[in-house]
């Protein structure tokens, strides 16, 4: 009977990245995925790599910044080991907010400078510069739209950020894992972590059981459903769409009520909602229309674009919106979950810190804020 050093529950970008990192250290790794690898939250994500974003909780900012810094090397390794191309873009972000405060390390933009960087956006902003913006209903779960404000009250800035196509990323990560001889079991759901004398000994699925001295829960929004320990991770639904045939945006554009993420193949991803509706992934026509209208308000030329696709995903959220990283009270049972809106961003640094923990090596970071014990 085949055994492994580590069983990873969940084949999203967190699980796959960690599997690769452990395999590079010589461990035998099995990934057990309830569906198809990379097809849940990772597949649904927008791919903004906002490592310096001021909206990150303070405890998360060092990890977010380090993970963003690691991204070019992370992608290079995936491309090298998979033979596939990952769409990593470094044109930066145009940030527009009615809140007034600029993020750290932001370059404030004049309307003339904005026009030179992203003309399609500036055309919309110039019209609003002359007329106060009428109140706009907020999208479900989004930040409140500015009420009756004009453009002089807005902050417009350039942020030196990257973006990545998460679908290309997880395809490359899956292929790289197979190239590295990581075993992947798809279409089987882990029901329970097996425990003997206070330590993990493997997992039981809906079909069979697998033995390993180390188990790592990377099951995303489903992390809290696995026995014996119920982790406080809940799903937060996000609805999104992709447009084609619109203006050739170069930058990510982030506003209070919508964001636009261009892909190198011409698609523009528009998102997103934040909805506490359990495991419901139904796409709602009215919500998609509101997102599309918000995108057109920001970039009027998108009115001529056509919808390529719409979808919904389930983000894994902890009660304090911080990841859960570390060993549980069961020896040998770890969790790397609850990444909420930052799973794509945090994949490189999560793989690094979790590998150190599994190998009982010192971490370069204080992970106490992310310990599972904080919910005990």
Domain CATH code at residue 38: 3.50.50.60
352 and 264 in a single domain? The answer is no
Distance CA 68, CA 167 (A): 18
What's the pLDDT score for residue 184? 98
313 and 241 in a single domain? The answer is yes
* pTM of the predicted model as reported, rounded to 2 decimal places: 0.92
* Domain end (from 317, 338, 357): 317
254 and 201 in a single domain? The answer is no
* Domain end (from 301, 317, 333): 317
**Domain of residue 281, CATH code:** 3.30.9.10
What's the pLDDT score for residue 369? 97
228 and 245 in a single domain? The answer is no
248 and 229 in a single domain? The answer is no
Q: Which residues are within 8 A (CB) of 100 and not within 5 positions of it... i.e. 6 or more apart?
A: 153, 154, 155
Q: Flag the least confident range among 46-55, 125-134, 186-195, 320-329.
A: 125-134
- HSE-CB at 314 with a 13 A cutoff on CA atoms is 21
Helix (H, G, I), strand (E, B) or coil at 337: strand
Tokens describing residue 20:
């690769």
38 and 184 in a single domain? The answer is yes
152 and 240 in a single domain? The answer is yes
97 and 81 in a single domain? The answer is no
Which residues, in sequence order, are bridge partners of residue 227? 192
Q: Flag the least confident range among 74-78, 102-106, 255-259, 323-327.
A: 102-106
* Domain end (from 317, 351, 367): 317
What's the pLDDT score for residue 132? 40
207 and 223 in a single domain? The answer is yes
245 and 134 in a single domain? The answer is yes
Question: Of 311, 175, 162, nearest to 251 (Cα)?
Answer: 162
11 and 139 in a single domain? The answer is no
Distance CA 353, CA 348 (A): 9
Identify the domain containing residue 276 by its residue range. Answer: 93-160+235-317
For residue 139, name the pLDDT band (cuts at 50, 70, 90).
Answer: low
246 and 200 in a single domain? The answer is no
**Domains identified in the chain, total number:** 2
Q: Please calculate the CA angle 170-59-49 and round it to the nearest 5 degrees.
A: 30
Q: Which residues are within 8 A (CB) of 65 and not within 5 positions of it... i.e. 6 or more apart?
A: 51, 52
């Amino acid at each position: 009977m085949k055994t492994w050093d580590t069983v990873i529950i969940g084949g999203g970008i967190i699980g796959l990245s960690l599997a690769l990192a452990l395999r590079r250290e010589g461990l035998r790794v099995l990934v057990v995925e309830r569906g198809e690898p990379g097809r849940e939250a990772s597949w649904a994500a927008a791919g903004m790599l906002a490592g310096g974003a001021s909206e990150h909780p303070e405890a998360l900012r060092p990890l977010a910044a380090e993970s963003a810094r690691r991204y070019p090397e992370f992608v290079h390794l995936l491309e090298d080991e998979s033979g596939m191309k990952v769409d990593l873009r470094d044109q930066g972000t145009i940030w527009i907010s009615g809140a007034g405060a600029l993020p750290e390390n932001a370059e404030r933009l004049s309307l003339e400078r904005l026009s030179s960087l992203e003309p399609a956006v500036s055309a919309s902003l110039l019209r609003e510069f002359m007329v106060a913006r009428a109140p706009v209903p907020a999208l479900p779960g989004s930040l409140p739209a500015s009420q009756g404000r004009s453009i002089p009250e807005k902050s417009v800035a350039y942020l030196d950020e990257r973006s990545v196509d998460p679908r290309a990323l997880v395809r490359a990560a899956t292929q790289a894992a197979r190239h590295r001889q990581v075993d992947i079991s798809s279409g089987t759901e882990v029901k329970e972590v097996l425990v003997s004398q206070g330590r993990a000994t493997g997992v039981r699925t809906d079909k069979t059981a697998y033995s390993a001295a180390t188990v790592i829960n990377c099951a995303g929004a489903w992390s809290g459903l696995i026995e014996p320990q119920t982790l406080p991770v809940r799903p937060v639904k996000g609805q999104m769409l992709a447009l084609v045939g619109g203006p050739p945006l170069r930058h990510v554009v982030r506003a209070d009520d919508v964001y636009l993420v261009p892909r190198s193949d011409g698609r523009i991803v528009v998102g997103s909602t934040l909805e506490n509706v359990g495991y419901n992934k139904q796409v709602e026509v009215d919500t998609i229309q509101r997102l599309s209208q918000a995108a057109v308000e920001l970039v009027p030329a998108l009115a001529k674009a056509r919808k390529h696709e719409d979808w919904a995903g389930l983000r894994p959220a902890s009660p304090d919106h911080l990841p859960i990283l570390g060993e549980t009270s069961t020896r040998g049972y770890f969790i790397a979950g609850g990444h909420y809106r930052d799973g794509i961003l945090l994949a490189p640094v999560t793989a690094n810190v979790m590998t150190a923990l599994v190998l009982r090596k010192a971490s370069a970071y204080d992970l106490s804020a992310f310990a599972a014990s904080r919910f005990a």
